[in-house]
Amino acid sequence: MDEEPASYDRVVYKNASVYQYMKICLIFGNGNKKLGAEQFKQLIISGLKDLYGQVGASFPFDVLTFDQRAQSAILRVYNNGLVKLWSALTLIGSCENESCAFRVTQVSPFLLALSGNSRDMEVQ
């Protein structure tokens, strides 16, 4: 009785998700300027347009949540647009003649992963 050894197939998915989710915040040099949700998105679109032109600024992304007090948002973008969006955010340096910078705090293919941050947790 010759039994064949068991065989296993290893299957690895690089990324099964269609979208990437980014948690970002906008920081101003003087620290007291606040933008509304529409201005926030328009600033990102203008950064994309400056870097990639009119066609580059036309790829879709969504602002899922926006916190005006913290000037933070969660963005949803297709996988193939993540690098474009991230690079445009990195190069935005001013808004209405005031210095500013976007900080990307978390990126994940899963929206649920952005609900908490272990760096912000307080252990009691």
The residue ranges of DSSP E strands in the chain, in sequence order, are 19-28, 61-67, 72-78, 94-95, 98-108
Whether 57 maps to a domain, the answer reads yes
Q: What is the C-alpha to C-alpha distance for residues 50 and 89, in angstroms, rounded to an integer?
A: 11
Q: What is the pLDDT of residue 15?
A: 63
Q: Residue 45 is part of which domain span?
A: 30-109
Whether 11 maps to a domain, the answer reads no
Which is more confident, 18 or 13?
A: 18
Whether 121 maps to a domain, the answer reads no
Whether 2 maps to a domain, the answer reads no
Whether 92 maps to a domain, the answer reads yes
Helix pair 37-56, 82-91: axis angle to 10 deg: 110
Q: What is the pLDDT of residue 52?
A: 93
Mean pLDDT for the stretch of residues 95-119: 88
Whether 13 maps to a domain, the answer reads no
Beta bridge partners, 121, equal none
40-54 pLDDT, tens digit each? 999 999 999 999 999
Q: What percent of the chain has pLDDT over 70?
A: 87
CATH of the domain at 105: 3.30.70.3250
Number of domains in the chain: 1
Mean pLDDT for the stretch of residues 91-104: 94
Whether 88 maps to a domain, the answer reads yes
